[in-house]
Structure 1
Amino acid sequence: MTDRPRLAGVRAVLASAALGAVASLGHAPVSWPAFTLIGLAAGIFLILRSMSPLQAGWRAWGLAAGYFGVTLSWLVEPFFVDAARHGWMAPFALFFMAAGLALLWGGAVALAHRISAPSLRWLSVAFALTGAEVIRGWIFTGFPWGSPGHVWIDTPYAQLAAYIGASGLGALTFLMAALLAQIAVPGQFARVRLLLAALGAVSAVGGFVAGQALENEPLPDDRDVTLRLVQPNAPQHLKWHRDHAYDFVRRQIDLTAATPSPGQPRPDLVIWPETAVPTLLDWTDDLRPAMAEAAQGAPVLFGVQRGDAMQYYNSLALIGPDGAVQASYDKHHLVPFGEYIPLGDWLDEFGISAFAARAGNGYSAGPGARLMDTGVAGNVLPLICYEAIFPRDIRAAPRRADWILHATNDAWFGDYSMPFQHLAQARFRAIEFGLPVIRVANTGISAVIDARGQLRDALALGRAGFLDASLPGAAPPTPYSRHGDLPLTVLITVALFGLLARRVTKAR
């Protein structure tokens, strides 16, 4: 390859990365979904102009690297909690995460370019990108953060997730972007362009109208249950500091005991966020009575670490009016390298215990999704932090809950994009399963989300306080709650094999 073609190839990859950055602007807090559609369409246009699978793969890699690099920019924040020790790692962590995830898009598109006929390449690229996103949600325990489908949360299109999930909305986004790209490809007949434009317009309008209809369907009445959401707003660099940690516990006790607004009843259930108590559950014998007294007869559900021999768990515990522990839940979907080291227990078999969770070096995973009986508030499905981004963890529950609790500590990740993106995903879980989601966060955003994914009320980011609210009613089970992503996975697999078969048949 001469220097000029090589330079042109590098420029195309850089241009693709810039378009990926534009596409990321659909995510919170910017929340301009049209930019996601435009950025992806322009990036796919460059892919469709590629002369080889390798060239297409590199351009798709650039598109994804720009997209994930901006969408996941919050990943640098934990390294600045102790900047003197860990700050230097931040840019490397973001680069390698974005570049690694981009390999899925690049590899999928290179394969799609090879197996499909030029006239149908736009379809194969859309299907391939969707398949890459499905894989991203599962490989290495999964990381489906920042799906293109998430950008539609504040539009009527979000309601379609009750049928196809956020991943299905991502598939529609790729298809629409690829359709726009194909319309712009030169050398087509005018009637083909017109047909494609009409198809896109009908799909967009039809989806909008269907989403509005779903959004306007009535929901059941709120339950006669008052919840108190407690948001202590403990900065991460002070949350576990020996001179400040119990000041934040005292703040939560005071917020629990606070008098309700005039006309508002006392809460029936008080909820504190993830790791609200900076010690082990077994060491809270003197603290739990004070918490129960502050709640004045209401149970308290709070985040705490739990120990069992040499294993430790990120947990939620429910205490009754006497301060005794009535139930607990252990987080089962842990963050790789954040809460545990993959293969750490396996290495312990060879005498290397520094990474072994069973030796107390990291969290151990709980047994799986489970319901917790809160008494007056019914059965709740607890999710701790990262677990709320996985619809499959909700489908894994033994039976349908009355509501979902999302307890989290987003203080690790700053106050720009991550808390807003995390909230958007919790709202999608409500739509997908037709269940209200109660979100309690250390620094915010604590929120009451109804079964249509709408925010009933919320505590602003970076504010200490409490929120008293009624528990919204649950909608009937949704199609997505029954089938999950299985129909989409089957569709993508069949479509790609169909394109391959067509190409082979034509070649013969």
Structure 2
Amino acid sequence: MEWLAGRVILVWGFKRALLAILAGAIGVLALPPFGFFAAMFISFTLLVWLIDGAAAAPDSGLLGRLWPAFATGWLFGFGYFVAGLWWVGHALLVDADQFAWALPLAILGLPAGLAIFYGLAAALARLVWSDGMGRIAALALGFGLLEWLRTFIFTGFPWNAIGYGMMPTPLMMQSAHLIGMLGVTALAVFVFAAPALLGTRQGAVPGIGLAVILFAAHLGYGYYALHQPEPPFAPDRKAPVVRVVQPAIDQEAKQDTDADRSAIFEKHLALSVQPPKDGGKRPDIIVWPETSIPFILTDNQDALTRIADVLDDDQILIAGAVRSEDMGPGSPPRYYNSVYVIDGRGQIIGASDKVHLVPFGEYVPFEGILKNLGIQNVVEMPGGFSASATRSLLTLPSGIRLYPLICYEIIFPSEMTADIYKADAILNVTNDAWFGDTPGPYQHLQQARVRAVEYGLPLIRSANSGISVIADAHGRVISGIDLNAQGYFDATLSSATRSDIDDRVRKMYFWLIIGGVALIALISRMGFISRVN
């Protein structure tokens, strides 16, 4: 191990850059659809040794001394994000004639931008770098802070945060309920980087010992949480049977003629009225995916009549749709990516609009400048979508309350409002058909399940092409449909596992973790911990 560490520390030039990119790419094996979390131990061990060797000229200023570490972290991040996000480019191939030119920006440009966060994480760690255990604490500090910044800087994009590599199964997801995804991320970096201490020996005993304790506590809490008795659904309401429809509509077909749109609508209806499988109970709630209604519903009374025809009086349909809002004479309407609640009489009794839009997918940032350069939304909508100022809790006639999250809104734990603590379940409608048969839908599903664990709520997830599931509040899938399969499934909604842990507590724990690793890094930098072998 010491021989290998020495070789990595001393590698230089092109080989060093290639090794840093490879180290980042290896880490992606910990993410869905692979879930081989041990890959992160290789990835971060190599990163520690590479930063060990990221030396600058003795007479360099502060920026000069930090530049080699930044470059190493950036190359690591570039490898990680290219390997983990290449599938984003698939969305541009749906209308290749118009958007294929942007493939390099999606496949290489987006990762290059995101890699800046990891470059800054490595540079920050280098500020308090030491020879022993403190340097893995410094790395946990750097990545913890920069992953936190990644949740909101430039609208935020915390996709594939390092902590998800430590949460491939429900057993390993439960810690997120206590300390949140960000807390898991900071501690995961410490644990993943710990084997690097075997290569230099200094601080190996306390460093690896603490990493083993943290990992054991992670698994132990998971086992404890999964073996707690399930509480009743609600004292005043019965658990509903939910049908999730997965129509698997090809994305190109959604952009065709009125006849095609009518056929899409009828396909959703046909799947909704199928008899329950295995003699099960008729569904109380039927859920369609994001933008499943392929026209402006409020302008089409016939569609509402058709919905009333197929629903029983006490059934509820929840469907993704585009909502238009008239802005008055002379002004174009505004469009919102929404979910509607429709009762058995074909009446819209509730709605919620998307708050966090996808840049360049649903709106163009700096529109006045970029549209002059020919840059437009991937989703065809005059003027793009508008973002809602607030998110509305969906309260059904039965009293069931659903917290709606449309598409990738579910990856933002910091954006949940207080209403989520009034909800009985999280509702996530999405259309991952844009990304085809790639790792994207699998990664999206994992992050949705972790949100359910964080907030102790069951998850109802309807995705056009998959992966649709109903999961319990511990992230365990109760029922679902595979990617690209067409069909439906029914499942009884499980109960929430409410606790005294809320966002304020999770944030407090996160900052305590950051303070803890910062303290270890600073004490080690002063030379105390590194003397312990």
TM-score, normalised via structure 1 length:
0.90
Q: How does 1:83-102 map to 2 (within 5 A)?
A: 83-102=96-115
Equivalent residue for 1:469?
491
Q: Distance in 2 between matches of 1:50 and 1:28?
A: 31
Q: Distance in 2 between matches of 1:145 and 1:444?
A: 18
CA drift of 1:504 comes to 9.1
- C-alpha change, 1:41 and 1:395, in structure 2 (3 Å) is farther
The unaligned stretches of length 5 or more in structure 1 are none
Equivalent residue for 1:21?
25
- C-alpha change, 1:311 and 1:201, in structure 2 (3 Å) is same
- C-alpha change, 1:44 and 1:87, in structure 2 (3 Å) is same
- C-alpha change, 1:342 and 1:490, in structure 2 (3 Å) is farther
CA drift of 1:225 comes to 1.1
Larger mean CA deviation between 34-43 and 11-20 belongs to: 34-43
CA RMSD across the alignment? 2.9
Q: How does 1:117-196 map to 2 (within 5 A)?
A: 117-119=130-132, 120-151=134-165, 152-154=167-169, 156-185=171-200, 188=202, 192-196=203-207
Task: Give SS of 1:50's match.
Answer: coil
Determine if contact 1:232/1:252 at 8 Å carries over to the other structure: yes
- C-alpha change, 1:81 and 1:6, in structure 2 (3 Å) is farther
Task: Give SS of 1:33's match.
Answer: coil
Task: Give SS of 1:204's match.
Answer: helix
Q: Distance in 1 between matches of 2:304 and 2:38?
A: 50
Task: Give SS of 1:244's match.
Answer: helix
Determine if contact 1:292/1:299 at 8 Å carries over to the other structure: no
Equivalent residue for 2:215?
204
CA drift of 1:347 comes to 10
Q: Which amino acid aligns with 1:32?
A: F
Structure 1 position 288 matched with structure 2 position 304? yes
Match of 1:257 among 255, 273, 280: 273
Q: Which amino acid aligns with 2:18?
A: L
Larger mean CA deviation between 33-42 and 45-54 belongs to: 45-54
Equivalent residue for 1:324?
347
CA drift of 1:263 comes to 2.9
Equivalent residue for 2:83?
70
Q: Which amino acid aligns with 2:478?
A: R
Q: Distance in 1 between matches of 2:89 and 2:35?
A: 21
Q: Distance in 2 between matches of 1:399 and 1:205?
A: 30
Determine if contact 2:297/2:303 at 8 Å carries over to the other structure: no
Match of 2:264 among 228, 248, 261: 248
Q: Distance in 1 between matches of 2:527 and 2:204?
A: 26
Structure 1 position 216 matched with structure 2 position 206? no
- For residues 224-266 of structure 1, give each alpha carbon's deviation from its aligned partner in whole angstroms, at most 9, with x where no partner exists: 3111111111010112211422212111111112122243122
Q: Distance in 1 between matches of 2:376 and 2:109?
A: 24
Q: Which amino acid aligns with 1:216?
A: H
Q: Which amino acid aligns with 1:211?
A: G
Equivalent residue for 1:308?
325
- For residues 306-356 of structure 1, give each alpha carbon's deviation from its aligned partner in whole angstroms, at most 9, with x where no partner exists: 1112211000111112111111111011112211122448999x9x9999x
Determine if contact 2:321/2:340 at 8 Å carries over to the other structure: yes
Equivalent residue for 2:35?
31
Equivalent residue for 2:404?
382
Task: Give SS of 2:182's match.
Answer: helix
Percent identity over the alignment is 32
TM-score, normalised via structure 2 length:
0.86
Determine if contact 2:92/2:103 at 8 Å carries over to the other structure: yes
Equivalent residue for 1:341?
364
Question: How many pairs align?
Answer: 494
Determine if contact 2:170/2:475 at 8 Å carries over to the other structure: no
Task: Give SS of 1:420's match.
Answer: helix
Q: How does 1:353-368 map to 2 (within 5 A)?
A: 360-368=382-390
Determine if contact 1:45/1:185 at 8 Å carries over to the other structure: no
CA drift of 1:193 comes to 2.4
Determine if contact 1:273/1:303 at 8 Å carries over to the other structure: yes
Q: Distance in 1 between matches of 2:479 and 2:195?
A: 38
Determine if contact 2:120/2:142 at 8 Å carries over to the other structure: no
Larger mean CA deviation between 199-208 and 305-314 belongs to: 199-208
Larger mean CA deviation between 403-412 and 107-116 belongs to: 107-116
Determine if contact 2:352/2:404 at 8 Å carries over to the other structure: yes
Q: Distance in 2 between matches of 1:491 and 1:172?
A: 8
Q: Distance in 1 between matches of 2:527 and 2:37?
A: 39
- For residues 189-225 of structure 1, give each alpha carbon's deviation from its aligned partner in whole angstroms, at most 9, with x where no partner exists: xxx4233333322332232122211121122245431
CA drift of 1:51 comes to 1.5
CA drift of 1:485 comes to 3.3
Q: Distance in 2 between matches of 1:141 and 1:489?
A: 22
